[in-house]
Structure 1
Amino acid sequence: MTSPLVGMRAVVTGAAGGIGAALAAELIERGASVVLADLSPTVVDTAAVLGTSAFAWTGDVSSVEGIGALIDSADDSLGGIDLYFANAGIIGPSMLGESDADWDAIIDVNMRAHIRAAQALVPRWQEAGSGYFVATASAAGLLTQIGSAAYSVTKHASVGFAEWLAMTYRDDGIRASVVCPMGVNTNLLDDAGPAGGAAQKAVTSAGTVLEPAEVAAIVLDAVENEQFLILPHPEVLEMYRMKGSDYDRWLRGMSRYQARLSEQ
């Protein structure tokens, strides 16, 4: 069966490695052309391995200027953008952070980058009558991340923004999805960032750590079916239901869980 993604033109941010690189590879496998975007120059090597349907762009996707330059590059390389995968993300500071600068950095990468891309793309997609925005959030956007307020807040914002896009522009032919995985075998998980220790234990002990290629296949299967909430770890849905059914009980349980992790 031919994939609906054949002939599509996609941009994937945070694509030098991890989920982003896997998404780009899977998109190409399904017949799309892709611009791989990343702040790291190694994205050039990642794209080169994927063949003639892959194009590299190096720059900062968290700024208005960077988003504009990326879109111009994709227009030149692909002739347009049908799908945009807002995948770039950072861990950010532990706990409450120590400065506005800590928060500014993660808000720009994990949240404002999505907003700025949508502001640039939605008008052209409205005119075309189609377009697809896919945000990589996290299970932390549904359940909250132990050890990092900034990561939790920005991932909740990512979920909320994608949801708003999905309901607001549906009649214009625009679709949106949000990806909320738990543990994935990437540098982001290995490094754990300033949150470290308890945060990493919470992720790795909560469920299976998936490979990026596994996540990419799940994501694109869902995109082909225009599914909004994409959960590579199905157990997240049950946790989310438990949280919503008794919020106070959930908070008490998470507090106890955090204390146990800190003791280990």
Structure 2
Amino acid sequence: MKIKDANIVVTGAGSGIGRALAHAFVRHGAASVVVADRDEVAAMAVADEINGRACQVDVASPAAMDWLIEMAEQDGPVDLFCSNAGITVRGGTGVSEPEWERIWRVNVMAHVACAKRLLPGMLERGSGHFLNVASAAGLLSQFDAPYTVTKHAAVAFAEWLSITYGDQGIGVSCLCPGGVDTPLFRSESEARQHAMGEGLLGPDQVAEIAIEGLLENRFLILTHEAVREQAMRRARDTDRWVHGMRKFFSSVRDKEQRH
């Protein structure tokens, strides 16, 4: 994947990793960057910072995704689509169906929507790249079921895209960050932040790791070696890993209840 002179779209680019990616792409010579975010003010602020174009969009809306891609293609074909927008919902089986549907649309179906709309043109040209931002939770597990389930699904969809279209000129990368100092991370409880904060990275560090992975055409882009090690432990002995995670989650919940 070549960043220089590429036309790029980044969703969820108003803050956190998305904002850092938008800045990094400009530093690496992108021809244009569309800054897409549900928060129009934040999108406009980042677009002003990088001399890009802002687009207010709710990625859960198929019509909004149509508009985003139509606007982005005014600069020419989209070379790289970064599906970065994501949300979290606290809880497990008690989460309401509307909340499950909302997080599913944002964390999974937004990836599907952009691929559905961009693949025909990319296949015709024989080029194009998707960067789907998932999470370490897509390889392991985290405290809240909706987040973990949807991030696993996001990784699976990215794998399917790569397997299905990788021999037809379509690049796919899946970024699975560990602990990153973002608004989403800071919204967690103190106990969870402490549990997930080992090796905490800044968004700019994650963006540079993502760029490196894209330039090398890597599928799986990890920011923390510990995530790779945990995933290998999980694959080698899943039962042992699940038992260990039970103890870990239980200890974190105990700390949350004490505070």
Q: Give the alignment's TM-score, normalised by structure 1.
A: 0.93
Are residue 38 (structure 1) and residue 37 (structure 2) matched?
A: yes
Among 7, 13, 30, the residue aligned to 2:5: 7
Q: Deviations over 1:141-169 (max 9, x none)?
A: 001112x1000000000100001001100
Q: How does 1:103-142 map to 2 (within 5 A)?
A: 103-142=100-139
Residue type of the partner of 1:262?
R
Work out the CA distance in 2 between the residues paired with 1:119 and 1:13: 16
Q: Is the 8 A contact 1:97 1:103 kept in 2?
A: no
In structure 2, the CA distance between the partners of 1:153 and 1:198, relative to structure 1 (3 Å rule), is farther
Work out the CA distance in 1 between the residues paired with 2:246 and 2:88: 21
Q: 1:46, CA displacement in angstroms?
A: 1.1
Q: 1:220, CA displacement in angstroms?
A: 0.7
Residue type of the partner of 1:109?
V
SS in 2 for 1:75: helix
SS in 1 for 2:139: helix
Q: Deviations over 1:74-128 (max 9, x none)?
A: 012x222000000000011322243101101100100000011111111110001
Q: Is the 8 A contact 1:201 1:261 kept in 2?
A: no
> In the comparison of the two structures, how many residue pairs are matched?
253
Q: 1:35, CA displacement in angstroms?
A: 0.3
Aligned to 2:185: 189
Aligned to 2:176: 180
Work out the CA distance in 1 between the residues paired with 2:253 and 2:9: 39
Residue type of the partner of 2:55?
W
Work out the CA distance in 1 between the residues paired with 2:29 and 2:228: 31
SS in 1 for 2:36: strand
TM-align CA RMSD: 1.3
Aligned to 2:165: 169
Work out the CA distance in 2 between the residues paired with 1:181 and 1:4: 22
Aligned to 2:215: 224
Work out the CA distance in 2 between the residues paired with 1:106 and 1:157: 12
Q: Is the 8 A contact 1:93 1:102 kept in 2?
A: no
Work out the CA distance in 2 between the residues paired with 1:198 and 1:121: 41
Work out the CA distance in 1 between the residues paired with 2:190 and 2:147: 15
Are residue 102 (structure 1) and residue 95 (structure 2) matched?
A: no
Q: 1:191, CA displacement in angstroms?
A: 1.1
Among 238, 244, 262, the residue aligned to 2:229: 238
Among 6, 16, 19, the residue aligned to 1:18: 16
Residue type of the partner of 2:116?
Q
Q: Where does structure 1 differ by over 6 angstroms across 4 or more consecutive aligned residues?
A: none
Q: Percent identity?
A: 41
Work out the CA distance in 1 between the residues paired with 2:58 and 2:207: 23
Residue type of the partner of 2:33?
V
Aligned to 1:248: 239
Q: 1:198, CA displacement in angstroms?
A: 5.2
SS in 2 for 1:222: helix
Q: Give the alignment's TM-score, normalised by structure 2.
A: 0.95
